[in-house]
Structure 1
Amino acid sequence: MSEQSGWRARIAALRMDFSPLRVSRDYRYLTFSGAITMFGSYVTFIAVPIQMKELTGSPAAVGLVALAEFIPMILCGLYGGALADALDRRKIVIWCEVGLMVCTGGLLLNSMLPTPQVWVLYVVAAGVASFDALQRPSLDGLVPRYLPHSMMASAGALNSLRWNFGAIAGPAMGGLLVQFAGFQWAYFLDVLTFGLSLLLLLRMRPSPPTEKAEAAGLRSIATGIRYAATRPDLAGTYLVDIVAMAMAMPQALFPFLVDRLQAPWALGLMYSAGAVGALLAALTSGWTHKVHRHGMAVILAAAAWGAVMAVAGLTTSLWLVLVCLVLAGVFDMISGLFRSVIWNQSIPDELRGRLAGIELLSYSAGPMLGNARAGLMAQWTGVPAAIVSGGLLCTAGVAALAAWLPAFRHYDARTDEHVLREATRRQATTTPD
């Protein structure tokens, strides 16, 4: 093989695998629906903290928006997982999408008042967290039903691509709409995207529960928790992500960080920077098929996330901050991809919804707690100290968890008994369209 051919082969190995979109019509609808919803949701995601900042001028008030989401997310996430295993997952996704659209309609109406009310932002934040937590386990549980076991890594990269599209374009559009048209137009756009998403979701085939399904309730939830407790490798995916996000998530401080850097025009760039990094990682994700030590990959990526966040807090250069946030997005995407591969390759389908509910707590509770921590700490110590300390605590915490969880550290998909068992079962039952 010539040197030129060798380089072409290496570049080809990095390319994203789009085969899941070709294999399954239902997965295509699910992916495009999610991309549309994510775009609109990120428009609102940037509009709410800006509106809260304008109404209160308080970093703590902005951070407490995440805290208002925390308890509903915990309660509804666990129950949403039980519902996903007991009922038709497609129907749950559709009804929750309707609920999210109604919540955003509340933000739209509030923004049209002569004096928008702060309490409405908190109440709607709690409502959105509730519907999102009820919906997410069913969304995650649909992917293994629509695709074969061997495509889980590719599906993880495509899901990240969908998320990154919204996380890049949404904040940019949200910032422009808020600045030049007003909050009401940002919220109106989000309502519209929910409507378009529903049209696609309605075209998917039903996804009824398995024959082994339990009725949704406390006993069903307890079954899922007991299963997770027997799997140290799963515990590692949850705990590492919670520590990383709870310690080093700084998004609540972005409206104040741009003021400190005297660059208010860059707020949308800050919110989008992490997604740009994640997109770059997703588009070059072909190499992930060659990685089998998924636990170690999660550990290294999460520790690196904390390190670059600490650097972002130390610098006074806007462009260096943006570079750090892009790198943080790269490491966050790598961590998330390998966590999703562990989940989707090793968890039995009859438990997938309940375990997705637990996963939701790990990857949602962390950012919520992290934003609340950052906002409250910045109120007392200032924005830079809040970001730097969080990054350092993240790296130290991840290192401690890696030492404490050797089963997670040594996880290998080639030899793991749960992965091998699920691969055999799905090979006989999965029928992509």
Structure 2
Amino acid sequence: MTRILLALLGSTAVALPAFAADIVDYPPPEPPMVMAPAFSWTGLYIGGQAGGSFNGGSPNAPSSFVFVPGIPATPGRDAIPATPEIPGTPASPGTPGTPFIPGTPGTPGTPAVVATYEYACGVAGSPNTGSAACAVSINGQGTFLTQAELAAAYALSGNTGSLAAAGTFDVVVSPGTPGTPGTPDQPSTPGTPATDGTPTIPATPGSPAVPATAGTPDQTYAYDFGANHRAYSEDDDSFAGGGHIGYNYALGTGGFVVGVVGDLSYVDITKSAGITNGVDTIGVSRELDYLATVRLKAGVGLDRFMVYGTGGVAFGNIETTIVNTPFGLAASDDDTRVGYAVGAGTDYAVTDNLILGLEYLYTNLGSTDAELVVPLGNGSTLTTKSDDDFDFHTIWAKASFRFN
């Protein structure tokens, strides 16, 4: 075993110098490549734009017309028949009262016959002597009665008790007959007054029917100066320039980019049109002083190059002037119009921060409400206004600084 190990060591020592001669000296490997990040369109940017605005939209031809109001029709009316006479009612006579009826007097009765006895008994000189003799005066006629006779007369008078020695009493010789009462008076009754009759109401005559009259419709006539008038139209293009601010956002890695941008630019574009005969003019002139838009953007970014479409709201201040020299009149209106702007553009990122681009916009700010109305009498008017939209085209170059 020891011999084998020694033999191996000896052979190895002989082979080492030969193996070292066969080793190749290679150069060191190069460092790995570092990939630069892809450009992203996401970010806020500000910048400016400059170019021109050009007409070529609506012709701005004004309308000038005379309005003559119509006459409304009047409805007819049927005939009104006469009303018949209405007779009155006759008066009713009053009823007379009943006359006063006097009563009838009663019949007198017969009075009773009364004998008044005035007596004194025991009077001397009486033909009848004794205490029974009484001197009696009957209704003033003197006589002598015995006391028995006087007592009989006394009893006849209805008296009771004993007869006094002297006194007076009455004897009814005959009772008499009572009278009959009369009838009472009957007062008169008042009569009823007469009532007035109602007067006769005379008939009213009828009225004939009234026929309807046909009205005339409203009429509108185009206004001109006669055979020698001519129409004119003048459009002035303008420089357009200003500033903008916007924001882009890249969606995922597919290169689709959306964004929003707002801009404000100076624009001095004018549209004028009308009719003239070389002396008098009726026309409308509209001038835009500034333009502002707020728009959305959507496009495709191909690395540092992007193509997009855009659209949104447009604002502009338009001064409208209407002249009517035949009547020596003019009117003006200055208002801010709201419309829309649409277009397309391209952007190129020269560096991560510097972006250059070119953009086209079509802008429409609508029609104006201004008009000049001239009264002509009898309700007729001459009206001049512009019915066409104020629209134009804009092309400008842009330079923006992007914040990243």
| TM-score (ref. length: structure 2) | 0.18
Q: Which has the larger radius of gyration?
A: 2
Higher relative contact order structure (alpha carbons within 8 Å, sequence separation ≥ 6): 1
More helix by share: 1
More strand by share: 2
